[in-house]
Amino acid sequence: MNPFDYVNSVTFTKKDMMRGTENDELAEKDYVPFLVNRSLSYHEDCILFANEINQRSHLDHLLQYDFFINIIRPRKRFAKWAKPTKDEDLEAVMEYFGYSRVKAQSAITVLTNEQVTMIKEKLIKGGIHGRSK
C-alpha cells in the first residue's frame, strides 16, 4: 500500500485500513509514520496532532494510525510539498572548489559578489546550453 493511502484514509474516507483485511500485519508494516506525519503537518488543523505523534514516535504504528483516524475531522485536504530551491551561486561554488553543500554554504559567506561571478564565468563550458546571455 501507498503511504498516502493512509493519509487519505485518516483525513477523508475514515476507512480503517489496518483492520478487517487478511494481511493486518502487512498493512501495519506498510505504514510509514514519517511520511504520514509530514503530509499532515502541511494542514493547519492537523499540524498539532502530527507534532504530538512526532513526540511519541516510539508508539506502534497501529496506535499512531488509530490516534489520527479518531481525532482528525473528515475533510478533503490537499497541499503541495515544499521543495528546496536551487541556488546557482551555491552550485557554482560547490562545483568549482569540489565542496559539499555545507562547506559551500560557509564559503559563500566569505566570497564577494565579484568572486562568485568570476567563478561562474570560469565554469562556463561552452556549447549551446553553456553560453552566457
Q: Report the C-alpha gap between 42 and 81 in whole angstroms.
A: 8
The amino acid present at 85, given as its one-letter code, is T
Q: Which three cell numbers stand for residue 44?
A: 493547519
Looking at per-residue pLDDT, the higher value among 87 and 126 belongs to 87
> Mean of the pLDDT values across residues 10-20?
88
Q: Look over the chain and give the mean of its residue pLDDT values, rounded to a whole number.
A: 89
| Cell numbers found for residue 1 | 500500500
- Other beta carbons less than 10 A from residue 6's beta carbon: 25
Distance CA 126, CA 51 (A): 49
Asked, for residue 49, whether it belongs to a domain, the answer is: yes
- 14 and 41 in a single domain? The answer is yes
> How far is residue 93's CA from residue 112's CA, in Å, rounded to a whole number?
12
| Domain contains 97 | yes
Residue 128 lies in a domain: no
pLDDT (0 to 100) of residue 35: 93
Q: Which of 77, 72, 74, 64 is nearest to 18 (CA)?
A: 64
For the stretch 62-101, pLDDT in tens is: 999 999 999 999 999 888 888 877 889 999 999 999 999 9
Residues 7 and 46 in one domain: yes
Same domain, 34 and 93: no
What's this model's pTM, rounded to 2 decimal places?
A: 0.65
Do 48 and 92 lie in one domain? The reply is no
Alpha carbon distance 55, 48 (integer Å): 11
Residue 64 sits in the same domain as residue 95? no
Given a contact cutoff of 8 angstroms between Cβ atoms, the answer to whether 46 and 36 are in contact is no
Same domain, yes or no, for 12 and 64? yes
- Asked, for residue 96, whether it belongs to a domain, the answer is yes
In the 8-state DSSP scheme, what is residue 84?
P
Tell me the C-alpha to C-alpha distance, in Å, between residue 13 and each of 30, 51, 59, 77: 18, 22, 24, 11
- Give the domain extent around 51: 3-71
- Per residue in 34-63, pLDDT (tens digit) is 999 999 999 999 999 999 999 999 999 999
